Amino acid sequence: MESKITKEQIENIQLDHGILFKNYGLETQELIAPVRGGTNFKVERTYRNIEFDGARGKTKGLKTIDDENASLTVKTLNASLETFADKLPGAKITRDSSGTNKITKIEATNIGIISEDEYIENITVFAQKIGGEYVKITITNALDENGLDFSAVQKAEGEIELVYSAHHEYDSTKKKALYTIENIDEISYELEEA
């Protein structure tokens, strides 16, 4: 039997880097750039087999998902205080009072619960395919829990790895999807003019 690659399979090949946004579609939408090395989306699940006496091994229909987590990872060259603040949720943030609202200082804070307003509504990546469509991947209630590791080196650029993890809602009535993956025809966004 001869196997053939279809046109649809070719059109679904992802090419080039992804375009990454914080709070895509909201008033606080922000392009995360410049980045290096592309983006990585990861879903991790814990599966459990329901065991019973006489089972001969894994049994169809008796597998459950105990937990599920999702993350988006990217390395940015943007060494702004806003980037550092994303890496240090719960830190004490001082902002400019002149109206720009830019972060002017980040300080260590007490250990404790991270407030709900520290979570980012969504992190969204768009990756183009040969056929012209985009894969749009969104994670919700995102928080970077990996701490800060920043090096300033001679004749090189400092990379900061952002690892945004999605978080489930504790209030089941809010029922926000942990992640969504969809095909779209085009990206709708506007960048601020310099």
Taken in order of first residue, the domains within the chain and their CATH numbers are 7-45+58-88+118-184 (2.30.110)
pLDDT at 189: 67
Alpha-carbon dihedral sign for residues 84, 88, 93, 95: positive
- Concatenated DSSP letters for 85-152? HHHSTTSEEEE-TTTT--EEEEE---SSPPPGGGSEEEEEEEEEBTTS-EEEEEEEEEEE-S------
Task: Show pLDDT as tens, one digit a residue, over the chain (194 residues).
Answer: 678 888 998 898 887 778 999 999 999 999 999 999 989 999 999 999 999 999 999 999 999 999 999 999 999 999 999 999 999 999 999 999 887 889 999 999 878 899 999 999 999 999 999 998 999 999 999 999 999 999 988 898 999 999 999 999 988 777 789 999 999 998 876 644 43
> Can you tell me the distance from the alpha carbon of 125 to that of 18, in angstroms, rounded to the nearest whole number?
6
Q: Looking at residue 181, what is its pLDDT? A: 97
| Spatial distance between the Cα atoms of 165 and 144, rounded to a whole number of angstroms | 6
**pTM > 0.75: yes or no:** yes
What is the structure's pLDDT at 190?
61
